[in-house]
Structure 1
């Protein structure tokens, strides 16, 4: 501290004997500006550096009043990524005032002035402990500034909630400190002209209502004007979701009906329209409450009747010829849409999964098909689950739709039987209609007048999802997909076009989809026992993908290879996986994760390193499940960390299991009561637009389970995973019945601190579909088919009515919920 004083009267020894012309002290005091610059710029800066605060005493303009201030920036702080930090600066002394905070070092954060010397910021995502520096400035009444410094040390994000216990209750349970709101339910009207949902089976017009079985889902930010995209808007947006299937019994007053095996047309139309996709506008009020906008002009349903178009190598090929589309470039609708994908240019991908089950084939159709189209057509139909009954007998098809209104082509398309009186190329009937399904479909959520496009370059299968890898300027992007059936494959499509950052904000979103999704190479994965792997190209003319190279099927051209990607994968020797479902890509590392839900056909003899378990899982209610009953999650890292790679390394991130099962051979991830799970299905990494998707990104895992539902309803878990290879190798002993054998595998590192149960759903549901707002403060989750085992006379769940009190009387409804943190923070961390 420096102090100045006025001159005073004579005292002992205070005699002026200096008669020179040197300047007097009072003259120096008068030069306030120069003096204060020295005092404050030098002494206070040194004090701030040493002590985190600075103190100054000086004079007013006339040199006769104390002008001292003390500035403090507070003590150093330790926090974790995602937490809100409040910096508190103080200025004490006559006339002192604060002039604000600034950051001096570390990853840049957005400081918000909270007034009264305070500023707040959200601690950034970091991979290791990182120190940030900040400086607080104070100003004296004389206009001189003094500063003080402090630091904030940020640790990587952690799962900052208490794990939710397992539950069989009929509610959605979330951690303490969180709230659940039901947002968008089966039957909710999306047009002002559609009546409210009665939920008694009498409702119609599902083309104007929310469909059933809410599934994969994405949030798209909407500008305040409501007319264009704003990817950063976390208060207004479009929620786009799949409606995979139906719980048929609840859609009608007393369940479905038929007369002499013929379904009523009105019932069938209702059931068909309840499938497909919803696009619905949602908003968050100033109170924080979310709601959907029932009358928005952007609201839309895409059903199995909505016109679509084909693009890519199969468009216009004879394999797509039908009575509706004799040129093979148009189609009608999309069905059994399960998982999804959000494209870097702002479109939504919906993926057709169990489409094959809806088709009817009449007795003798194998013989007719072979005569008209060749024996390979029967091989292809059988490989895709479209076989007729035993002995070439009748195949009815899901829900018996094709029995209704034979003259209505919308319904007739679900009968794939060959009509021998029609042209052999299929332009007079619907023999090729199944080839129009099993694709990835791109939708522009912002343009309700646009036609969805089926992207044939990405192959035809039981598509579960399609997720993009990291986009890097000048590098060809990749898109990862699973084929959800037992012993099917994992695929990757690599575009022919290198990524351009300008395409993230295009004027025509579907045109950019044409650019990246219509030409490229489709690959299928082979996993080797040593932890390496290869991407095998599905390219006609290479290896066995020729007319004579594969004994089981003669490929004609690239369109044939893509339409029958499963057969191409067989020919190339891809690794048969335990039901590959959702894919997700770590936005920081680029590693791809894929859920392998379960596989009841996995035996001890056919285990391999990537699918290493075959065992018995007993139920507490009696009985058991066999094979890989609880599933696992595999992950891979591309060689060179580039999406263009044709090789990779892999391990298994987590094995599903009850905590009580054998730790040496079954519960390989050492799960406990806070995180044991079964049948992983949905999978999603947090958005990189907020802290939960940065540094060490948050991974969300959803379950669709039958093996563990005697103990708990399906669930959502949060994880902060490591990286490929962070665990080690294990050799396990599989025992199934009287058969035993050993299998080596690669097990990733998991722990209770990095994997916790975040949510448990209501009775008989699947937890699926997930996204957040760009700021990570609102989490959207879908609850599919609660009470699916019941019916009008045996209601087994009353959710979401039961959410408020735990009980209710109405029929259950699939619905979207919003989960928020009561303190307004980022969900999960």
Structure 2
């Protein structure tokens, strides 16, 4: 009998600037939603499933009413409009009490709009590495007015996102390997006098070199949590939009991915828009290619109806691209290279310990806007990888490998483990709520049973195998499923969600947490309405979904789910914090990346805060009597987003992405002075935070 983990406590979107929307995702939220399928959302199936009340209930029942009004806009350099009452509450106790769940015993940072990284009392911070810092042998020091593509290719890239810290062994005392994604570029904040309609070749080539991945050795100070980059170490490496990558798995060599430059369909230049990622148990890192569609041009001129429909489903730009790369390389023009977009949108696997290895794009994990990819192992050692498709009304997925991980550091084990993600089955999620549809009116009111919860099914899409790839979707070949995964999930009847982003399984309980950032289109005329998993119309603030699979085998096809957190101002009746008293939590908006600390607390970074404060990092207890207790740990500078959270015993790392990315900002008119002060170019950077007394975080 299957045993599902209990879900109770056991041992343009958003507030983004128009500049962010342009450069990060190609104004995705201002275009028509790519998913026009007739798939049911959860509310369509609730009535049929009402009699299937098999889920455990939460202990707390919270009475809620109508959602609150529009939040205040961000502005200035001090505190937002709603910060004063929050600060008063913090000063009076409640969320301001430094007591809390183990790992969360710090005084929360109040909402603010300070142009700096703000951390709790008793904590220190330090910039580990900035955009442009040289890391590869021969790379010059950064100079904002003398930058070249060759220099950038050896320097730390732009807009750092996902972060991983990997051990280097006892012979490298107090040294670790830092791996970072470089998601995208803000040309207006990089180049003096930038003309977005007429970029120069040099500017474009610098941007190519500023995308991709970075690997750099860091040295730990033995007296604090400070980390310092070790420049020009032999393991340091940059991978860019022109580096060689290999397509692997079931779609490699398919006619769908062949181009004039690569008739084999196996070699790709570059990786684009790497957002979040994951670290594997066998020592590699995973990197999700997210908003890759914006880099390609002229989809609106395609006359073949099949190709046009495929490009539209992925939101490929209809006319000229924002960065105009197609003027300098024909592969970014779909009229000249129709298959080039099909070579992006995958999960990239990197061996950061081998600076000469060629990273692989794992086609078996499907092609969509991967926010990230987070693995875990089944009891018999097979990897299971979760990933969300960051688009309004799109889906979340898992891949289950058919091969077991080999333990050890032998060459045979390493070679075997580098094949684990090429064979197995790709699934998409379908959710069913267990309360009557009439109970969901768009205000976020809890149903009568006291919980947003239900059951779910993993639907098979395709299986990759050496004996032959198999499609489980009628009318599509296996190769088509792996390359056009969104269409396959449409056909399979997956559940439409509110921008599924990062996913993290708890290393302690096995429960899995999915960040759903927001969806301003939910409930609008002609768009899907509310349901038990997405209970608010015009969902500005997002939510965290918690689900549990078979206790002994996460490779199974069933799961239980509930909403763990419904984000927003705690004074807003539509918010929910796992039943924890709302006068004792910090406000939170637009959850994006998630990570676990050594104590089993979930840490959440935000993107696009709509509560009038800057984005930040929050910790929340997931189990025990303080389940749902959420505290803000830090905020980031003006215009910035909090990315790549990494929480260790004595150190927290965050990637401060796109500081100063505010409408009207430019090199000549900066909106932020971070990190180096007035008169210096604004630079994305990685920041380390630690306790001044040297003790562990939050204890």
For normalisation by structure 2, the TM-score amounts to: 0.78
2:608 corresponds to 1:700:
no
SS in 1 for 2:364: helix
Distance 2:474 2:299 in 1: 32
Please name the residue that 1:270 is paired with: 206
SS in 1 for 2:372: strand
Please name the residue that 1:442 is paired with: 349
Once the two structures are TM-superposed, the CA of residue 639 in structure 1 deviates from its matched residue by 2.6
Please name the residue that 1:495 is paired with: 401
Distance 1:263 1:396 in 2: 13
SS in 2 for 1:283: strand
CA contact (8 A) 2:137 2:154 kept: no
Once the two structures are TM-superposed, the CA of residue 546 in structure 1 deviates from its matched residue by 2.6
How many equivalent residue pairs?
570
Q: CA RMSD in A?
A: 2.5
Once the two structures are TM-superposed, the CA of residue 398 in structure 1 deviates from its matched residue by 2.6
For normalisation by structure 1, the TM-score amounts to: 0.66
Once the two structures are TM-superposed, the CA of residue 675 in structure 1 deviates from its matched residue by 1.2
Change in CA separation of 1:665 and 1:815 when aligned onto 2, cut-off 3 Å: closer
Which of the numbers 535, 546, 549 marks the counterpart of 2:458?
535
Distance 2:154 2:506 in 1: 37
Q: Which has the higher strand share?
A: 1
Once the two structures are TM-superposed, the CA of residue 778 in structure 1 deviates from its matched residue by 1.9
Which of the numbers 314, 333, 340 marks the counterpart of 2:270?
333
Which of the numbers 205, 209, 216 marks the counterpart of 2:162?
216
Which of the numbers 283, 296, 321 marks the counterpart of 1:397?
321
CA contact (8 A) 1:186 1:209 kept: yes
2:641 corresponds to 1:766:
yes
Matches within 5 A, 1:655-694: 655-663=566-574, 671-672=582-583, 674-686=585-597, 692-693=598-599
Deviations 1:126-151 (A, max 9, x none): xxxxxxxxxxxxxxxxxxxxxxxxxx
Once the two structures are TM-superposed, the CA of residue 721 in structure 1 deviates from its matched residue by 0.8
CA contact (8 A) 2:135 2:216 kept: yes
Change in CA separation of 1:645 and 1:665 when aligned onto 2, cut-off 3 Å: closer
Please name the residue that 2:451 is paired with: none
Matches within 5 A, 1:87-126: none
CA contact (8 A) 1:201 1:252 kept: no
Deviations 1:713-768 (A, max 9, x none): 00000111128xx9xxxxxxxxxxxxxxxxxxxxxx854xx311111111111000
Which of the numbers 798, 805, 809 marks the counterpart of 2:673?
798
Distance 2:553 2:297 in 1: 44
Which of the numbers 415, 421, 428 marks the counterpart of 1:524?
428
Deviations 1:421-478 (A, max 9, x none): xxxxxxxxx2100000000000000111000011110000000111012x25525331
Choose between structure 1 and 2 for higher RCO, CA contacts under 8 A separated by at least 6 residues.
2
Which of the numbers 254, 268, 281 marks the counterpart of 2:193?
254
Change in CA separation of 1:172 and 1:492 when aligned onto 2, cut-off 3 Å: same
Please name the residue that 1:511 is paired with: 415
Distance 2:470 2:562 in 1: 29
Unaligned 5+ residue runs, structure 2?
Answer: 1-10, 12-99, 435-453, 464-468
Matches within 5 A, 1:276-315: 276-288=212-224, 289-315=226-252
Larger radius of gyration: 1
2:76 corresponds to 1:168:
no
2:526 corresponds to 1:587:
no
Distance 1:297 1:287 in 2: 26
Deviations 1:390-426 (A, max 9, x none): xxxxx1013111123xxxxxx22111114xxxxxxxx
CA contact (8 A) 1:179 1:822 kept: yes
Unaligned 5+ residue runs, structure 1?
Answer: 1-80, 82-154, 227-232, 389-394, 405-410, 419-429, 548-554, 615-626, 687-691, 727-748, 803-807
Once the two structures are TM-superposed, the CA of residue 223 in structure 1 deviates from its matched residue by 2.4
Change in CA separation of 1:443 and 1:666 when aligned onto 2, cut-off 3 Å: closer
Please name the residue that 1:653 is paired with: 564
Please name the residue that 1:101 is paired with: none
Once the two structures are TM-superposed, the CA of residue 819 in structure 1 deviates from its matched residue by 0.8
Change in CA separation of 1:606 and 1:496 when aligned onto 2, cut-off 3 Å: same
SS in 2 for 1:525: strand
Change in CA separation of 1:331 and 1:664 when aligned onto 2, cut-off 3 Å: closer
